[in-house]
Structure formats: C-alpha cells, structure tokens
Amino acid sequence: MRSEVVEVIIKNIVTTPKGVALFLGNNEKTFIIYVDLLMGEQITSCQQARNVTRPLTYDFIRNLCFGFDIEVQHIVITDMKEGIFFARVLLKQQCEGIIKIVELDSRPSDAILLALTHKKPLWVDRGLFQDLPDVKDLAKNWIKD
C-alpha cells in the first residue's frame, strides 16, 4: 500500500446514545468515526494508560506481537463506504534473517488500538481525508484544543 496519507490524532472521545464518537483530525480538519461502546472504552483506557486487573484484547494482541517479534509498521484509515470506515495494518516480522511483511484489513477501531499500543501515528488516506466533511465548527464544545 503506497498512497499519500495525512497524520491525525484523537482530539476527543465522546459517548453518544448510539456508541462512541472518536473525533480525529489535525489543524486542517476534524472528522468523526463512530465505534461501539466497548471499543470506545478500550481506546479511552489505552490512551489514558489505565491499569487494568486483566489484559484487555489490545493488551493480548500487543503481547502476541512482541512475543513473535512482530512490529506494527503503520495503520491507515483507507476508505469509507456507506458511512463505514475501513483500515489497513502493515506488520513486519524479522526472524533468522527472513523478513515477512503482511498487510491486513482491519476495523479502524482495532487499527487505532494497535497504533496507540505500539506508539505509531494514525494515518488517513489523503483522498479520503479531503472528501470527509469537517466537523470542527459543529463540535467546538467537544474538542480539546
């Protein structure tokens, strides 16, 4: 996957009646991805580095990656169709001089968790980013500057 990308950050996480709204963006634009309540709680927990008594799914996946020497190279939110976002995760494993690269389809919420746990930037395909409506003005009260 080689396309132009735009780096974004999580500007805020807001619980709504239908789930959780992730406000993502940069100085240029802010957009929203809706995720289910559980994913929203896990993203919040991961972002705030909360201590949990038992590993959550993203902890398990992070530990699995470390155990098999798999490095998350990057994640990209690639597309949106009928209001549903899509993402790709690029993984790299090096073992005994052999390098394996794998690119996987992912839900954006899972990809965001991987990026947060592996301290990787959040990227959005530039074309998609340009097509998304800017909600910065609509969501002034919810966005932390």
Residue 27, SS3 per DSSP:
coil
Structure tokens at 71: 């490095």
What pLDDT, on a 0 to 100 scale, did the predictor assign at position 144?
A: 54
Percentage of the residues of the chain whose pLDDT score is greater than 70: 92
CATH number of the domain at 5-131, please? 3.10.690.10
Considering only CA atoms, which of 78, 80, 87 is closest in space to residue 111?
87
What pLDDT, on a 0 to 100 scale, did the predictor assign at position 55?
A: 75
What pLDDT, on a 0 to 100 scale, did the predictor assign at position 1?
A: 47
- The CA distance from 51 to 39, in Å, is 17
Whether 12 and 39 have beta carbons less than 8 Å apart is answered as no
- The CA distance from 28 to 100, in Å, is 36
**In the chain, domain spans:** 5-131
What pLDDT, on a 0 to 100 scale, did the predictor assign at position 111?
A: 94
DSSP-based helix, strand, coil % in the chain, nearest 5: 25, 45, 30
Considering only CA atoms, which of 106, 141, 101 is closest in space to residue 122?
106
Low-confidence ranges of the chain (pLDDT < 70): 1-3, 138-145
Query: Cα dihedral sign for 43, 44, 45, 49?
Result: positive
Half-sphere exposure of 69 (CA within 13 A, CB side): 8
What pLDDT, on a 0 to 100 scale, did the predictor assign at position 30?
A: 94
